[in-house]
Amino acid sequence: MERNKNEISVRQTALMSVTAGVCVANIYYNQPLLKDMADSFHTSERIIGNMAVLAQAGYGLGLFFLTPLGDKMNRRKLILLLQWLLVLALLGMTFSNNLHVTIAMSLLVGIFSVAAQVILPMAAHLSPHNKGRTVGIIFMGILTGVLAARVFSGFIAEWLSWRYVYGIAAAMVLATSVALYRSLPDITAVFNGSYPDLLRSTLKQLKRFPLLRQTAFLGALMFGVFCSFWTTLTFYLSGTPFRYTTDQIGLFGVLAIFSALLAPMFGKLADQGDANRSRLLAVMLVIGAIVISYFYPDTLWTVVIAVLMLDLGVQAVQVTNVAVIYTLDETAHSRINTIYMTSYFLGGAVGTYSGLLFWQWGKWNAVCLQLLIFSIAGFILLVINKASISLSVKVKDIILKPKTV
């Protein structure tokens, strides 16, 4: 059967997946680089750590204020505009010799990297007959970009310098924007209201769905754990007793990629109608990783096990959460996704900032305490949710149970 001219091709899908990964990777390049950047600007770990915080916060702001525009304006033009602005911000990171300007550029890099989240609904729109497969491929590109960013930046910084990381990143974003310009079709906007109406409609999704509120809060907590862990791990592995170089620290990102490939197994539990159990198991994995890190902090094998367990748990929660929120209202997927992903990445910013504070307070052991607080809060949320679901089912059974005479 001939493919509909308006349906996405294999080449377009691959290109959009790569582009999404290239865009989102920019907010994670800094994690293995923080020590090098602190030395370059002759500043403290706490101050340079603000770059990681602002990159995450910027992404969260961009998600809420920019990605809903995909329903109001031409998505192709919006993606290209965000990419070109991202190139300028990355060049600012590359050539700036002023600490405050560099930190400000980090915020802008986070804001404009949300082009990845405009690509995702566009791909779904262009694939009416294979929506799940297409979205899965794009999401895998985003996940690969998140996890491979540390490996890439670690090696480039070790052999050249941290500035080359952002210069090369700018070239990659520019190259993908040219490819998208030639490949993607124009799509007519579907939302006719004003921009304030669009934002109000997005916020209404929180009021409509209690499940969205719970899922967004859980996602924020677990991504906060993820970002805090990886940001402070750079300082931990560069100090005593490990004293690893930047490229060696970046290699730990390879472990994260392997563990993330197992996360879809948890999604099968969600498909079987047991999303809460899937997430409980995932959070228990995260808690186990933190406990191992706390009690056996100075050996390589415990770090490796903790990375594998923590990343598998966090990514499993993410996969299951996405499956859950897409059951709510198919006519409002973009706005629901905006609420969830905004909460998710703002949670990452809060987690990063908290991790830096706890690192200054008591180094790795204190960070493990902070990670444990976030994880246990998520576990309690799931337990309460499970109890409320069970209670609801029992009440319905009592009401609907036929009375015997």
**Which CATH number belongs to the domain containing residue 307 in this structure?**
1.20.1250.20
Q: C-alpha distances in angstroms, 323 versus 132, 208, 264, 273, 333?
A: 11, 18, 11, 10, 12
Which domain covers residue 230, as residue numbers?
Answer: 204-405
Q: Give a yes or no: residue 1 inside a domain.
A: no
Cα distances (angstroms) measured from residue 248 to each of 88, 153, 155, 290, 296: 30, 11, 8, 22, 20
Helix, strand or coil, per DSSP, at residue 256: helix
Question: Is residue 271 domain-shared with residue 174, that is, in the same domain?
Answer: no
Pair 307, 170 in one domain: no
If asked whether residues 133 and 255 sit together in one domain, one would say: no
Q: Is residue 195 part of a domain?
A: no
Whether residue 192 is contained in a domain is answered as no
- Both structure tokens of 133: 């497969």
Quick check: 228 and 364 in contact, CB under 8 A?
Answer: no
Is residue 247 assigned to a domain? yes
391 pLDDT exceeds 60? Answer: no
What does the pLDDT look like over 125-177, one tens digit per residue? 777 666 656 766 777 788 788 878 878 888 898 888 899 999 999 999 999 99
Q: Residue 262 — pLDDT band, cuts 50, 70, 90?
A: low
Amino acid letter at 365? N
Q: In whole angstroms, what is the distance from residue 145 CA to residue 28 CA?
A: 9
Burial 371-388 (b: 16+ CB within 10 A, else e): bbebbebbbebbeebeee
pLDDT at 316 over 50: yes
Q: What is the pTM of this model?
A: 0.74
Q: Best-predicted range by mean pLDDT among 144-148, 321-325, 370-374?
A: 370-374
Q: CB count, 10 Å around CB of 393?
A: 10
Q: Are residues 321 and 213 in the same domain?
A: yes
Q: What is the pLDDT of residue 400?
A: 46
For residue 392 the two structure tokens come to 């609801």
Residue 404 pLDDT: 45
- What pLDDT is attached to residue 405? 39
Q: Is residue 181 over pLDDT 50? A: yes
Q: Are residues 173 and 285 in the same domain?
A: no
Answer yes or no: is pLDDT of 289 > 90: yes
Whether 320 and 362 share a structural domain = yes
Q: Note whether 189 and 73 are within 8 A (CB).
A: yes
Give 328-357 pLDDT, tens digit per residue: 776 677 788 888 888 887 888 899 889 989
Do 354 and 299 lie in one domain? The reply is yes
Shared domain check, 282 and 387: yes
Cα 240 to the center of its chain, rounded Å: 30
Residues in CB range of 112: below 8 A, 6 or more apart: 62, 82, 83, 85, 86, 89
Same domain for 215 and 160? no
User: In this structure, which amino acid lies at residue 270?
Assistant: A
Total domains in the fold of the chain: 2
Q: Sorting pLDDT into bands at 50, 70 and 90, what band is 272?
A: low
Do 350 and 220 touch, CB atoms closer than 8 A? Answer: yes
Q: Is the pLDDT of residue 121 over 90?
A: no
Of the listed ranges 199-208, 281-290, 360-369, the least confidently predicted one is 199-208
Q: How much of the chain, in percent, has pLDDT values that exceed 70? A: 86
Cis peptide leading into 196, omega within 30 of 0? no
Examine the domain organization and report whether 66 and 176 are in the same domain: yes
- The whole-number pLDDT of residue 151 equals 82
Confidence of residue 64 (pLDDT cuts 50, 70, 90): confident
Mean pLDDT score of the chain, rounded to an integer? 83
